[in-house]
A and B are shown apart, each in its own frame.
Chain A
Amino acid sequence: MKKLVVAAAAFGLALGAAISASAQEKLKVGFIYVGPIGDMGWSYQHEVGRRAIEEAYKGKIDTTYLENVNEGPDAERSIEQLVRAGNKLIYTTSFGFMDATAKVAKKYPNVMFEHATGYKRDKNLATYSGRFYEGRYIQGQIAAKMSKTGTIGYIGSFPIPEVVSGINAMMLGAQSVRPDMKVKIIWVNSWYDPGKEAAAARALADQGADILTQHTDSAAAMQFANDRGILAFGQDTDMIKFGPKAQLTAIINNWSPYYVERIKLALDGKWATGDVWGGLKTNIVQMAPYTNMPDDVKKLATETQAAITAGTLHPFKCPVVNQDGQTVECKGGTHLDDGQILSMNFYIKGIDEKPPAK
């Protein structure tokens, strides 16, 4: 009997050793995308990051991905599926995966998770996101310089803080150049519907907006702007191909350096939970080349970008005045703090429309 137990224990040890040995050989990394990698936008940029780590750690890691995963109950099942397939580090790349990721992370304490744009963290669940509002501020300044009608057309997806803070940052940038700039906002209530995005772009142009910007994921608005002969900003990725005469610049979600760094930590056994909210400084937010604008505007944009990168300029520097004329509490000392930006649900002074979420 005793012998048997010892044998079983030895077998167990050997098995454990075998598992850890194989795990050391190759780290399995899984990604969950909310859209198709062919969206040329949000999910595509995460896919670019996945390819970058494959390239950087050839032979050391194995990566897989699941695309088009719904943010509903499907998410949890899909994440579990990746765990069961032996993935030790799993990236869930949309805000709506937050609860599912947190739940699965609790269940599998030995698997590392990283969730994009969320705020729920755990011992084995880190979060990461981009300070896209930094790019919006620069766009606002460019728009104010370039617009003839003085009206920006803004295509919104859903009225969540990330989008609202983008609108505010853009208008703060615009007002810093031209205090009377206006914005017209259309919510399409979708991240991804090229037809509807194009229709919204058309409606905004028909109502006098001559600079379009979007917080949705397809290039439909950019292509429309190019045909119409007005200007636009790209989103997620460089859209210059769709708007060679229209694109002023684009905010590029550049996840590659972040992923490369995190995989290195995981390979060295130094991975730890935490939150990374990187902007222009850490290169998670990149600006596409400044095009279709005169040199003085290009110069202003470049200087603003340098100032934000250096930390001498903060888009939400105090005082920030809301729509009702009240000064917003300045929790970050000289600027609004991250918590205020992450939960932003008010419009700043100068935006006429009612906040959608109230």
Chain B
Amino acid sequence: MGFVEAVLLAVIAASTPLLLAASGELIVERAGVLNLGVEGMMIVGAACGFAGAYHTGSIAFGALCGILGGMALSAVFAALTLGLAANQVASGLALTILGVGLSGLIGSGYVGQKIDGAAHLYIPYITDIPLIGRVIFGENAFVYFSVALIIGLWYFLYRTKQGLVLRAVGDNHASAHALGYPVLKIRALAVLFGGACAGLGGAYLPLAYTPFWISGMTAGRGWIALALVVFASWLPFRLMIGAYLFGGITILQLHAQAVGMGIPSQLMSALPYLATILVLVAISWWRGRAGSPAPASLGLAFVPDR
């Protein structure tokens, strides 16, 4: 296996959980809801996913459990912010705290247990093509799904009527409501979808990346997923670029350290975050005249008048 190939494989492996979780949050925010609880939903998804796979030996069943776990937590968020019109920022933060606690509870019986991780695709001869074989034809199902998800999201948002309605709800919920669209129902579905994706992204960690369970294994990836959505200015393909860029810098800084380039490691570790800030500044500067790319109703509660 060549060095470049090894690096590419590592980058994709590190980026996939971010991409999965951020894809869901992109749809949530496009519907005008800001759910800061991604970290909480991810870690619950991770715990549920591991528990499911541990008992059945099936990674697919584990992934399903992760999806359901994330969705269950997001349902709590939907009930609070959509049903009761509670503050989205506060509810999202509370959701993270709740999720971290819950995951510890769910996972308490599994601490230190391990499973066999997700299998990688192998097609004779094709997977063995140097340089690109394993990168394109030798990944696990999560990776292929995350790429398909992005393409699907793009198609949904820009090529279907439902996607247009979702964007309308996010940009101006009052108008969408006046046109007769069920704003709260659409938002609730979006939030559940976001929970499912975050749960799957979380489940990727104990099912494919580091196949064992210990508490707190998401280690802040949910927050990075949130930042990526802004980084991508709410566009699916840019989200994919952002996730791979972020994963890429993370992995490359590790390699740069191992080579011994003599740059302080603290600075290296901060590089992905610095890059995110720089791109954010560049985007807002570049987009200054065109107005903010954020959905106009993002984070605002909607209470239909009766």
B209 at the interface (CB under 8 A from A): yes
User: Contacts A36-B104, A203-B251 given: A192-B219 contact, CB under 8 Å?
Assistant: yes
B211 at the interface (CB under 8 A from A): yes
Instruction: Kindly report which residue of chain A lies nearest to residue B257, judged by CB atoms.
Output: A186
**Which chain B residues lie closer than 8 Å to A38 at the CB level?**
104, 107-108, 111-112, 214-216
**Which chain A residues lie closer than 8 Å to B112 at the CB level?**
38, 40, 219, 241
Within 8 A of A (CB), among B131-168: none
**Which chain A residues lie closer than 8 Å to B259 at the CB level?**
184, 207
User: Contacts A38-B107, A206-B10 given: A189-B217 contact, CB under 8 Å?
Assistant: no
**Which chain A residues lie closer than 8 Å to B214 at the CB level?**
36, 38-40, 194, 218-219
B124 at the interface (CB under 8 A from A): no
User: Contacts A187-B265, A206-B6, A354-B262 given: A223-B210 contact, CB under 8 Å?
Assistant: yes
A356 at the interface (CB under 8 A from B): yes
In the bound complex, what is the Cα–Cα distance between A242 and B210 (angstroms)?
Answer: 11
Residue pair B265, A159 in contact (C-beta under 8 Å): yes
Instruction: Kindly report which residue of chain B lies nearest to residue A40, judged by CB atoms.
Output: B112
Residue pair B10, A204 in contact (C-beta under 8 Å): no
CB distance from B40 to the nearest CB of A (A): 14
Residue pair B209, A204 in contact (C-beta under 8 Å): no
Within 8 A of A (CB), among B252-271: 254-255, 257-260, 262, 264-266, 268-269
The prevalent SS among residues of B at the interface is helix
B238 at the interface (CB under 8 A from A): no
What mask results when residues 103 to 116 of chain A are scored 1 for a CB within 8 Å of chain B, else 0?
A: 00000000000000
What mask results when residues 187 to 230 of chain B are scored 1 for a CB within 8 Å of chain A, else 0?
A: 00000000000000000010001111011110111000000000
Residue pair B258, A187 in contact (C-beta under 8 Å): no
A195 at the interface (CB under 8 A from B): yes
Residue pair B104, A195 in contact (C-beta under 8 Å): no
User: Contacts A38-B215, A206-B3, A218-B214 given: A189-B269 contact, CB under 8 Å?
Assistant: yes
CB distance from A293 to the nearest CB of B (A): 23
Residue pair B254, A189 in contact (C-beta under 8 Å): no
Residue pair A204, B210 in contact (C-beta under 8 Å): no
In the bound complex, what is the Cα–Cα distance between A311 and B253 (angstroms)?
Answer: 41
In the bound complex, what is the Cα–Cα distance between A188 and B255 (angstroms)?
Answer: 11
Residue pair A187, B257 in contact (C-beta under 8 Å): yes
- Partner among A40, A199, A227 whose Cβ is within 8 Å of the Cβ of B251: A199
User: Contacts A40-B111, A354-B262 given: A203-B254 contact, CB under 8 Å?
Assistant: yes
CB distance from B125 to the nearest CB of A (A): 23
A55 at the interface (CB under 8 A from B): no
- Partner among A153, A159, A193 whose Cβ is within 8 Å of the Cβ of B219: A193
Residue pair A190, B255 in contact (C-beta under 8 Å): no
In the bound complex, what is the Cα–Cα distance between A241 and B251 (angstroms)?
Answer: 27
In the bound complex, what is the Cα–Cα distance between A196 and B212 (angstroms)?
Answer: 14
**Which chain A residues lie closer than 8 Å to B251 at the CB level?**
199, 203
User: Contacts A192-B219, A356-B264 given: A241-B114 contact, CB under 8 Å?
Assistant: yes
Instruction: Kindly report which residue of chain A lies nearest to residue B218, judged by CB atoms.
Output: A195
What mask results when residues 98 to 114 of chain B are scored 1 for a CB within 8 Å of chain A, else 0?
A: 00000010011001101
In the bound complex, what is the Cα–Cα distance between A335 and B211 (angstroms)?
Answer: 43
CB distance from B101 to the nearest CB of A (A): 10
**Which chain B residues lie closer than 8 Å to A156 at the CB level?**
265
- Partner among B215, B221, B255, B264 whose Cβ is within 8 Å of the Cβ of A39: B215
B296 at the interface (CB under 8 A from A): no
B7 at the interface (CB under 8 A from A): yes
Residue pair A356, B265 in contact (C-beta under 8 Å): yes
What mask results when residues 6 to 31 of chain A are scored 1 for a CB within 8 Å of chain B, else 0?
A: 00000000000000000000000000
**Which chain B residues lie closer than 8 Å to A188 at the CB level?**
254, 269
**Which chain A residues lie closer than 8 Å to B209 at the CB level?**
194-195, 198
What mask results when residues 169 to 201 of chain A are scored 1 for a CB within 8 Å of chain B, else 0?
A: 000000000000000111111101111111110
- Partner among A35, A185, A195 whose Cβ is within 8 Å of the Cβ of B221: A195
Residue pair A200, B205 in contact (C-beta under 8 Å): no
In the bound complex, what is the Cα–Cα distance between A200 and B104 (angstroms)?
Answer: 25
Residue pair B210, A198 in contact (C-beta under 8 Å): yes
CB distance from A156 to the nearest CB of B (A): 8
- Partner among A196, A206, A219, A242 whose Cβ is within 8 Å of the Cβ of B255: A206
In the bound complex, what is the Cα–Cα distance between A168 and B134 (angstroms)?
Answer: 38
- Which one of A156, A159, A198 has the greatest number of beta carbons of chain B within 10 Å? A198
A245 at the interface (CB under 8 A from B): no
User: Contacts A38-B214, A194-B217 given: A189-B257 contact, CB under 8 Å?
Assistant: no
Residue pair B219, A195 in contact (C-beta under 8 Å): yes
In the bound complex, what is the Cα–Cα distance between A89 and B212 (angstroms)?
Answer: 35
- Partner among B215, B217, B269 whose Cβ is within 8 Å of the Cβ of A187: B269
CB distance from A255 to the nearest CB of B (A): 18
CB distance from B78 to the nearest CB of A (A): 28
CB distance from A265 to the nearest CB of B (A): 32
**Which chain B residues lie closer than 8 Å to A35 at the CB level?**
215-216
A202 at the interface (CB under 8 A from B): yes
Within 8 A of B (CB), among A336-358: 352-354, 356
CB distance from A196 to the nearest CB of B (A): 7
Residue pair B265, A184 in contact (C-beta under 8 Å): no
B23 at the interface (CB under 8 A from A): no
CB distance from A46 to the nearest CB of B (A): 15
User: Contacts A195-B221, A199-B10, A242-B114 given: A36-B216 contact, CB under 8 Å?
Assistant: yes
Instruction: Kindly report which residue of chain A lies nearest to residue B116, judged by CB atoms.
Output: A227
**Which chain B residues lie closer than 8 Å to A142 at the CB level?**
none
Instruction: Kindly report which residue of chain B lies nearest to residue A188, judged by CB atoms.
Output: B269
Residue pair B219, A190 in contact (C-beta under 8 Å): yes
**Which chain A residues lie closer than 8 Å to B210 at the CB level?**
194-195, 197-198, 218, 220, 223-224
CB distance from A76 to the nearest CB of B (A): 21
In the bound complex, what is the Cα–Cα distance between A219 and B215 (angstroms)?
Answer: 12
Give 12 pairs: A residue, B residue, CB < 8 Å, sorted on A: A36-B215, A38-B216, A186-B265, A189-B269, A195-B209, A196-B219, A198-B210, A203-B10, A203-B251, A209-B258, A220-B212, A352-B260
The 3 closest A-B pairs by CB, nearest first: A187-B265, A36-B215, A38-B215
